[in-house]
Amino acid sequence: MKIQPLSTSLWIAAPPSKVWQGLTDPELVQQYLFGTRMETSLKPGEPIFFRGTWEGKVYEDKGTILAAVPLKRFAYTYWSSFSNLPDAPEYYKTITFELSPEGTGTQLKVAQQAGPGQNEPDESGSHWESVLTALKHLVEGT
């Protein structure tokens, strides 16, 4: 069974530069992503790591940068240590953020595509809702 991609979008009352910074600045990511420390060079082909502690469990999630076009597009593969799936390429998701200026703010689109080895839907929808709401509040200064 092929898993349908997850896709969502929201309007943020901040310019693309602030939204981009929120997506790529490790200090800002840590503020809205449950204390997760992101580590990456933002260079395509280079690794990206997300490290932290969740409910007493230390984790390291990881992937590879696919695209980092400032103010426009940020994409990477992603494997979660919480997925209970092997750390193998077929179990990596692809996460894509697309930014577009809209009025006095930014339209942010997020897409998540399951890897070819994934047959079961996950609970990412509710996760993305809380993460994006926290990002929105952070970059809007609310």
Residue-range domain boundaries for the chain: 6-89+98-140
CA separation, residue 9 to residues 23, 32, 127, 129, 136 (Å)? 14, 17, 14, 10, 11
Higher-confidence residue: 30 or 127?
A: 30
Report the CATH architecture of 6-89+98-140.
2-Layer Sandwich (3.30)
> Looking at 31-35, 59-63, 118-122, which range is the least confident one?
118-122
Report residue 125's pLDDT band, with 50, 70 and 90 as the boundaries.
low
Residue 95 near residue 111, CB atoms below 8 Å = yes
Residue 79 DSSP code: B
* pLDDT given for residue 129 in this prediction: 87
* pLDDT given for residue 107 in this prediction: 98
Mean pLDDT of 113-136: 78
Q: Check whether 9 has a pLDDT greater than 70.
A: yes
Q: At 59, which amino acid appears?
A: Y
pLDDT, one tens digit per residue, over 36-69 is 999 999 999 999 999 999 889 999 999 999 999 9
Rg (CA), the chain: 15
Mean pLDDT of 90-103: 96
Residues β-bridged to residue 40: 48
Euclidean distance between CA atoms 108 and 8, whole angstroms: 8
Which of 75, 137, 136, 141 has its CA nearest to residue 110? Answer: 75
* pLDDT given for residue 106 in this prediction: 98
Contacts of 79 (CB under 8 A, 6+ apart): 61, 62, 63, 85, 87, 91, 92, 93
pTM above 0.85, yes or no: yes
* pLDDT given for residue 1 in this prediction: 46
Residue 134 DSSP code: H
Mean pLDDT over all residues of the chain? Answer: 91
Residue 32 near residue 134, CB atoms below 8 Å = yes
